[in-house]
Amino acid sequence: MEKVYLDNAATTQVRENVIEKMQEALAKFYGNPSSTHSFGRSAKTAIESARKTIAKELNAHPSEIIFTSGGTEADNMILRCAVRDLGVQTIITSKVEHHAVLHTAEDLAKEKNVKLHFVAIDSDGNPDLSHLKELLMADDTKKLVSLMHVNNEIGNIIDIDSVCQLCHRHDAYFHSDTVQSIGHYPWDIKKTPVDFMTAAAHKFHGPKGVGFAYIKRNSGLKPFISGGSQERGFRAGTESFHNIVGLEQAFVTAYENLEEEMAYVKELKTHFIQELKTKIPKVEFNGHSADMTKSTYTLVNVRLPIEPQKALMLLFHLDIKGIACSKGSACQSGSETASHVLEEILGKEDLKKPSIRFSFSKYNTKQELDYTVDVLKSFVED
């Protein structure tokens, strides 16, 4: 049986050189990074080297990189600390954000009496920047805007530079969940001066359970987890050393090979879309996922012309055929409810049709995509 992994937006295959780096770390550098002896100092040096490596690529300062367990923790950290430490009274976000942001914002509205506003979303899933401006000008409360750079379900890319400028023009903080874009797009904090951003290593061929938050220097945020001086005192707890060096290796490799791998994956996505349109003429695409300029090159969200009852078997059928994909984000895969993102942009009839997210990486081939399209075609026509 063919085995085809097309769920790279959920997590990616770990690169061989990352595994080797992590194995070396586990075997040789087992000292506690907080210890003052040579074993500890070696581990600490490697962690600081990773911090500097990431900061240099992002054109940031090393002190602005805080290692976390991943994107969800980083999002929670930033939103909660902004309310607690910066006097944020209003959070402006959208209903198509990842639940790490949405649920945290909703919790803060209940727990801290924070005003919560949602930017209007158009039928393609894009935030209305005119409405964002209205919300920013609505009152004089201290505001935090949180909008993701690349949507994890439909792949839309927001005009992050315009959002950044708009927020700063109105004296608001700007946080962006960049989990789907770090490692896939070049970044320059000086050109796009977000206040806060987040990343997860497992989205760019690194290990799970590690990521980082970018927190602008002198932001005023205070420790999120107390109990020690790790991570500049901001996040207490012994660092996950092997994961951090794995993150660094994955990050370095991603950016060293960015142009080549981006071109290859773009070609895969273009081919997949063309094959789908040719062999399943009534196929539709959600959001801007079929537009190579308005969406990320790493995923496409497909809506198939299948009756609701038959659609219940689609993911099972694909799995039986060895094809791994997702009906939405991995965090939603166990849920029977429709994707909250698609509910915002699709009508009732289109929501009844099955929508599948296929996401690609350097490890995929055109042959795998051809096989996937043939399996889909057979299921649709059967």
Decide: 344 and 96 in contact? Cβ < 8 Å: yes
| Bridge partners, 173 (sequence order) | 144
**Which among 116, 191, 134, 127 is positioned nearest to 159, based on CA atoms?**
127
Phi-psi region of 49 (alpha: psi -120 to 50; beta: other; left: phi over 0): alpha
Q: Give how far Cα 38 sits from Cα of 45, 52, 63, 248, 280, Å.
A: 10, 21, 23, 22, 62
Q: Kindly report the length of the chain.
A: 382
The Cα 327–Cα 139 span in angstroms is 39
Residues 20 and 64: their CA atoms lie apart, in Å, by: 28
Taking the C-alpha atoms of residue 100 and residue 330, their distance in angstroms, rounded to an integer, is 13
The active-site residue out of 81, 167, 325, 331 is 331
Q: Judge whether 331 counts as a catalytic residue.
A: yes
Catalytic residues: 331
